[in-house]
Structure 1
Amino acid sequence: MRAITISEPGGPETLTWAEVPDPVAGPGEVLVEVAAAGVNRADVLQRQGNYSPPPGASPYPGLECGGRIAALGEGVTGWAVGDEVCALLSGGGYAERVAVPAGQLLPIPAGCDTVTAAALPEVVCTVWSTVFMGAGLRAGETLLVHGGASGIGTVAIQLAKAFGARVAVTAGSAEKLERCAELGADVLINYRERDFAEELADGADVVLDIMGAKYLARNIRALATDGRLVIIGFQGGVKAELDLRSLLVKRATITSASLRARPPEGKAEIVAAVREHVWPLLADSRLSPVIDRTLPLADAAEAHRALESSAHTGKILLTR
């Protein structure tokens, strides 16, 4: 088959469309014929040499895909060859085929095809496992989402609103904030013009943060009493100082999460919860994937440049 390989750590130009060995579905796995793959910040980090695949995972980038089952490994039940699915992956989505544990499969949801469904598994599983399973966001609480117009952000807004929360977002342009408002965001903050910590002082019950060090102290300032800060990215650096008294005063909690490194059984638990609680929202249009653009798989370098420019809203997809 053909896949996107990384010739060496570096810029987008290191992504190469090449012939590679065909994957094989092992016990408990299925082989998926890929129709489309989602592009995520983690893929950029892997390309740069800063985020290696976990042991045993495909070396090719791509943490989610949509497609059709081509083969079943030993012991797989509940799925059949020809089923249309999307999947949460540990790697290998930027390819014509990928092997994936059966517990990480989801049926194509209502209103989607195998291409649009590729925009869902990584971002939905990330938001559900962190904001709801981990931080326990409840109806009536306020969620602050940094990067509200990103793939993660557009899903987080819709899910939080569907479960009765108030949503505040940060973004860097009026156009992006307008799109966040269309998705249901209640408080719109242009981080280039206003300080979110001042706007939301003592107001956010949960903060979903992609920035890391740069925002740490201000995130704590923005938290309500008993607030929960969830860090899922480090676009603003990895080292910061924090006055621990600010945590004690608010009884605040800081957690972090990485979906990729979880064991298969942990991912299967999250996928099952998403199927139960989130998939019905797609059927009644309370959640819809936001897709900025699609590009051919062979043009993965262009997709990475678009992602790194931060000019997109929602997801960028690579298609066969």
Structure 2
Amino acid sequence: MSHPTTADGAAPATMRAVVVTHPGDLDVLEIKDVPVPVRKPGWVRIEVKAFGVNESEVTTRKGESDAEVTYPRIPGIEGVGVVDEADEDSGLHPGQQVATMMGGMGRTYDGAYAQYVTVPAGQVIPFGTSLPWDVVGALPEMFQTAYGSLTRGLELKAGQTLLIRGGTSTVGLSAATMAKEIGATVISTTRHADRAEELRAIGVDHPVVDDGHLAEKIRALVPQGVDAALELVGCTVLPDTFGCVRVHGTVCFTGALAGGWSLPDFTPFMIPGGVRLTSYGGQATDLPSDVFARQLQALADGRLTAPVAKVYHGLEQVRDAQADVESATIPGKHVVVLND
């Protein structure tokens, strides 16, 4: 792939991007030459270096997202790269390393499956690291979702006990390390006993094998119930998760790894008396730059490992990346690197 800038360092008139003109199978992910996006006041243009590939982008490609998604669309809800152009008073400067995610990106406006992307300045997180782009590209949405769930969703505090259901997912692993940094006791689940050591290695206090019926196991560890539960598996197990939480404890519904986004016969009375239920979707502003910096430093120091499943090189491999995400056969984050 050719370098996207011209000889004088300016952005070219056109760029390569993955464009979805209509919903469909993998073959609707077409690489096209399109105009480089023009930056609006209050927005930032970023030269994309890497991006994570996510389930929501598979959903967008298949036409299963909500009504806010329009086509044609360049997908991509997150990306990392360097500032190409920004307002002088934005505090951002050309060449600065930045991350961005969410906020309609790749859904209501074009996203990161491209050589350049423009986003509102408010959802840009500046950082500085010597970590390679394939590592940094795995982090923004994963860290934002984990941190936002723990803080905005659960208001987790030092000394509390947290259950992470879906603990070996990328968000689950990130949430465990962040919760330990907050000072919580962490119980985290896996469906496979041989992955318990993986959870212990990142600081989880009590790895638990999840067979779909957790309440009795959790109550054996914490008789009164946990203070907080992060639900990443989905509505298929949500009623059981309620049974793990103490009176006045909170369940935060953030993900549905098992595919259950709704309860067909929901009634409020299935929530135990005094247990609170909330949810988290989140925005880039929910991940402060200092928190992102601490996680980057933990990675650089070897105290944290980025759960990268596979690295893909160039837009030509986006179809392969989405296929692997959809098959769910390789655990961890799938990352596409550009301009390498």
Q: How high is the TM-score relative to the length of structure 1?
A: 0.86
Report the 3-state secondary structure (helix = DSSP H, G, I; strand = E; otherwise coil) of the residue aligned with 1:167.
strand
Output aligned runs, 1:241-280, within 5 Å: 241-242=265-266, 244-245=268-269, 247-249=271-273, 251-259=274-282, 267-268=284-285, 270-271=286-287, 274-280=288-294
Q: Secondary structure at the match of 1:276?
A: helix
**Contact residue 291 and residue 314 of structure 1 kept, 8 A:** yes
Residues 1:75 and 1:30: Cα distance change in structure 2 (over 3 Å):
same
- CA positional deviation for 1:291: 1.4
When you count helix as a share of all residues, which structure comes out higher? 1
Distance 1:49 1:210, change over 3 A: farther
Q: Quick one: which of 96, 102, 117 aligns to 2:115? A: 96
1:42-72 CA distances to partner (integer Å, 9 max, x unpaired)?
1122122122585799932211111111122
1:57, 1:306 → 2: CA distance? 24
Q: Of 69, 80, 105, which residue of structure 1 is paired with 2:124? A: 105
Contact 1:85 1:114 (C-alpha < 8 Å) held by counterparts: no
* 2:201 is the alignment partner of 1:178: no
**Is 1:45 matched up with 2:54?**
no
Q: Tell me the alpha carbon deviations over residues 188-217 of structure 1, each in whole angstroms, 9 at most, x when there is no partner.
A: 2333x4622221135332222233321121
Counterpart contact for 2:127–2:289, Cα < 8 Å: no
User: SS in structure 1 opposite 2:137?
Assistant: helix
The structure-2 alpha-carbon separation of the partners of 1:58 and 1:15, relative to structure 1 and needing over 3 Å to count, comes to closer
**1:111, distance to aligned residue in structure 2 (A):** 5.1
Matched, 1:220 2:237: no
- Counting only pairs closer than 5 Å after superposition, residues 62-211 of structure 1 correspond to structure 2 as 62-72=76-86, 74=87, 76-89=89-102, 90-91=105-106, 92-110=111-129, 112-191=131-210, 193=211, 195-201=213-219, 202-211=224-233
Identify the match of residue 309 of structure 2 among 288, 292, 307.
292
Question: What percent of counterpart residues are identical?
Answer: 29
Report the secondary structure of 1:4's partner residue. strand
For residue 233 of structure 1, the aligned residue among 250, 255, 261 is 255
* In structure 2, distance between residues paired with 1:70 and 1:111: 19
Whole-angstrom CA distance in 2 between matches of 1:57 and 1:82? 31
The alignment yields a C-alpha RMSD, in angstroms, of 2.6
Match of 1:26 in 2: 40
| TM superposition shift of 1:293 | 1.3
Can you give the 5+ residue segments of structure 2 that lack an aligned partner in the other structure?
1-14
Superimposed CA distance per residue, residues 201-248 of structure 1 (whole angstroms, 9 cap, x where no aligned partner): 353322222333211211111112212111123422422435644535
Spell out, residue by residue over 1:158-178, the C-alpha distance to the aligned partner (whole angstroms, 9 max, x if none). Answer: 101111112222223344433
Residue identity opposite 1:121 in structure 2: P
Secondary structure of residue in 2 paired with 1:9: coil
Distance 1:10 1:222, change over 3 A: farther
Secondary structure in 1 aligned to 2:179?
helix
SS in 2 for 1:35: strand
Amino acid at match of 2:98: V
Distance change >3 Å, CA 303–CA 101, structure 1 → 2: same
SS of the residue 2:236 aligns to: helix
TM-score calculated relative to the size of structure 2: 0.81
In 2, the alpha carbon distance for the partners of 1:289 and 1:28 equals 32
Cα contact 2:20–2:71 (8 A) shared by 1: no
Structure-2 change in CA distance of 1:149 and 1:68 (3 Å): same
Of 108-117 and 141-150, the range deviating more from structure 2: 108-117
Relative to structure 2, which stretch is displaced further, 22-31 or 193-202? 193-202
Residue 41 of structure 1 contacts residue 307 of structure 1 at CA under 8 Å; is this kept in 2? yes
- Cα pair 1:76 1:102 within 8 Å, conserved: no
Identify which range, 47-56 or 25-34, moves more after superposition. Answer: 47-56
C-alpha contact 2:243 2:272 (8 A) present in aligned 1: no
Alpha-carbon distance in structure 2 between the residues aligned to 1:200 and 1:79 = 47
Q: 1:11 aligns with which of 25, 38, 47?
A: 25
**Long gaps (5+) in structure 1:** none
